[in-house]
Amino acid sequence: MTKIDKLLLGIILLAIASGYLGIRYLAEQGKIVEIESPGGKQVIPLTNHPQKIVINGALGATVIEIKDGKVRVTDSPCPQHICVKQGWKSRAGEVIICLPNRIVVKVVRGESKDDSSALDGVTQ
């Protein structure tokens, strides 16, 4: 590798690291949690008050815990428990997905909006 190659590699790595840190630590704190399941969509405020929510999915009941302004999945009937291993989420845009049980837990910045009915644009 030449000096220019090393310099370019260093710049690329620095850009990747700063982008990751910017997204990870400068992201806005979420205010609500949207939970989508085969039974429908629920919107729950992300509060400091501890609560446990049981959501029925395709395989059975998934337990979601909200506490200290954070959310996590504590129990799920899925085989690998990847959703449980995701841990606490509190930043807007963070998502916990349990594919086998068909449950999505999404932290949202503010008001919940059902984007499926919104128009992106109009063409003629």
68-119 pLDDT per residue, tens: 999 999 999 999 999 999 999 998 889 999 999 999 999 998 754 554 444 4
Q: Does residue 49 lie within any of the structural domains?
A: yes
Q: Does residue 102 lie within any of the structural domains?
A: yes
How many domains, in total, are found in the chain?
Answer: 1
Query: Domain holding 92: CATH number?
Result: 2.60.320.10
Q: Does residue 12 lie within any of the structural domains?
A: no
Task: Give the domain extent around 64.
Answer: 29-111
Contacts of 68 (CB under 8 A, 6+ apart): 48, 50
Flag whether pLDDT at 14 surpasses 50.
yes
Q: Does residue 18 lie within any of the structural domains?
A: no
Q: Does residue 48 lie within any of the structural domains?
A: yes
Q: Does residue 47 lie within any of the structural domains?
A: yes
Please check whether residue 121 is in contact with residue 105, taking contact to mean a CB–CB distance below 8 angstroms. Answer: no
State the DSSP H helix or E strand holding residue 82, giving kind and residue range, or none if neither: helix 82-85
pTM of the predicted model as reported, rounded to 2 decimal places = 0.70
Mean pLDDT of 39-55: 92
| Spatial distance between the Cα atoms of 4 and 10, rounded to a whole number of angstroms | 10
Give the distance, in angstroms, between the CA of residue 114 and the centroid of all CA atoms in the same chain: 17
Dihedral sign for Cα 51, 56, 57, 61, please: positive
